[in-house]
Structure 1
């Protein structure tokens, strides 16, 4: 076991930096705006380092798209940082106030979590996103990226540090640990230094962090996403929603993995899948669906589903299809296989929609809209630190409020309690 003490210098400096982050909102916003501008100004530098990471990864790896940065993606990241700067800070917000009969005045006030550790894989955008959200909420960010993205992460953190130095801010407010695996183990054991850990990545990474961390963990789960095409679905809406949910960006956790189709609508399956063929989506379908489309879908892209294809997060141009006889069966299937991330129904039946939205247990539940919207920026949060699939403290896209806790402020005038 790697001793946390080997990394104590990193953790000590990070915690000390946190004591200096009680900054005026205008100062915080100016720094975030400068980071956004610096990201754009240093696009070529960041992309050059990102290419070094890309050169080490097989383009067919599902992580490749997440790892890849482009000028357009950096511009989008910068826009998100600007959006975070424009948002009101939750810090200092009074959640409750009461004056007790004895004259004590109580206030419940939002405060930073403290030191936030984030363990993530080949997602260099996370480096920018986590810094922006943590800095806005007065939290220190300790980042442990994967070796797959180490060149990219180090380029990004250097840009952030240059801006912090310009504003005389301790650069340890954004600490990037070494990419080595020992740093992960040290962070998992840094209970005296780190207030919360947030893993972002595969289900394997999330499970490892949850099972091994001595630091409290907020899970950002994998996305096994379903769409139920109901008996009462509008075909044109459905075709567009299914296509967008599956193909917009297959490497992200809100991408569609399994289409549930009502048995009475199997006649529409050819039209639905013909749109998917535009992107060469590989299908794993049950017997009833197979009979309907076997003569209309290329044989090399059409397979009979095996049990393991249901409950799989594909992260690729692959999708399962399951025929159901009614809403009840769709709900049962989702309850069995869902990762509680994002689930959707396509229907014009108000009762079915209401029941689906009320009964499906997921962080985000949709009616007649693409699951691709499960995203902090799309939800008006500026950016996100992850999509929480658990129920304690935070659920769904985690923005500024989810990076705060609260404390009680008690003002008195000499009150004492009876013995």
Structure 2
């Protein structure tokens, strides 16, 4: 048996145990993991500094280096809080979605159940190991994690702390060793992508090439997004103050984030529209503008920081930096058409005081997140109240948008009977009819 098969089989065994545990058992280990990571923050920081030192000496992009730094600002504290937030959420497993009396003493239930075994592949962000650990255990799933080589020291340290904590508390929580496993090499990933007998879902978090490569090399269902090409449309009836505030936040709050604004569409009918661009310039943003925008904008701000837009590429590009593509559109319809043509279906926003235009935009844009008068940076599991997220999905099947606990459960059907057989009923040789009476699920607890 190959090492990949051993890892996958171990995860399957752990997942089969996890799904039988109570919410109290699954949540209790999360508090223990939180405390262990907090207690060992210095060890983790030392490992993270080593990764950063290596990264800065390589050709790693600045955006990836920013993602790698676990102790920048309040990132570590936010990561820890995310574990607690997940632990406090309602149990996603065992929810009754449907109850139907098929006949007297024969009842059908549709009930949420864990997906099973997750293979999560991500780049650079070391906090993901804590996020996925919390989400997977809480939802009754086992997880196999592969981080980028640039953060291997941080991952090793955190993985050791997490697994030591699980092992030390097995007797009281029942959460098994193997519930969370860390792999390190690309060969491990390649080998595991063939383990469709044991692995139920692959979640890639990273570059377009990473996601596409995984989709081409596995039979296992893949959940994820390739790019975060997020657009904001400033309508002709926008509030200028809101427009300036929202666009600066969406572009500069965290330019390397997949929910950062990459395209700005402006209706030139808006009075003083150029102030939006000047405000972005003043906050360090370089604007990649079409000829029409350049001609009009430089009339109002001759010193504006603009580059000529390559319209064949820039509107399909994730800059991940303080750069933004800018274009004029003359209507909300034109904005929706542009976004649906160029968007990666991540998150897009309209800024307007015209409710009719806003409703058209909200219904017309085919993305997992569509906003009105707020920053695209809200596209995040933590901000949605999911505790944290396993990733953001732009697919339309199973889960969409920030994927929290609800996206990590599927459902199963249970029938609870009292000795009935199909042969007694119409359609299988019998004469008995079904009742098919829907029951109120509000008070049903199984």
Q: Same-fold call, TM > 0.5? A: yes
Aligned-partner SS, 1:390:
coil
Residue pairs, 1:4-403, within 5 angstroms: 5-21=2-18, 22-58=20-56, 60-70=61-71, 72-101=74-103, 103-168=105-170, 169-177=175-183, 179-265=184-270, 267-269=272-274, 271-294=275-298, 296=301, 298=303, 301-307=305-311, 308-403=313-408
Distance 1:284 1:38 in 2: 46
Distance 1:279 1:152 in 2: 33
TM-score for the superposition, normalised by structure 1: 0.95
Aligned-partner SS, 2:62:
coil
Aligned-partner SS, 1:294:
helix
Range with greater deviation from structure 2 (377-386 or 301-310):
301-310
- Structure 1 consecutive aligned stretches of length 4 or more whose deviation exceeds 6 Å: none
Give 1:367 deviation, angstroms: 0.3
CA shift digits 1:300-337 (9 cap, x unpaired): x4201012111111111110100111112111110110
CA shift digits 1:36-83 (9 cap, x unpaired): 222222221111111121122247532111111116211100111110
Give 1:31 deviation, angstroms: 1.3
Give 1:266 deviation, angstroms: 7.0
TM-score for the superposition, normalised by structure 2: 0.89
Larger radius of gyration: 2
Number of residue pairs the alignment of both structures matches: 413
Give 1:297 deviation, angstroms: 6.2
Give 1:351 deviation, angstroms: 0.5
Aligned-partner SS, 2:181:
strand
**Which ranges in structure 1 are unaligned for 5 or more consecutive residues?**
none
Asked if 2 retains the 8 angstrom alpha-carbon contact of 1:15 and 1:193, the reply is yes
Asked if 2 retains the 8 angstrom alpha-carbon contact of 1:102 and 1:415, the reply is no
Residue pairs, 1:401-416, within 5 angstroms: 401-416=406-421
**Which ranges in structure 2 are unaligned for 5 or more consecutive residues?**
424-428, 430-446
Distance 1:358 1:7 in 2: 45
Q: 1:34 to 1:278 in 2, by over 3 A?
A: farther
| RMSD between aligned residues | 1.6
Give 1:264 deviation, angstroms: 1.4
CA shift digits 1:4-42 (9 cap, x unpaired): 834222112111122222222222222111212222222
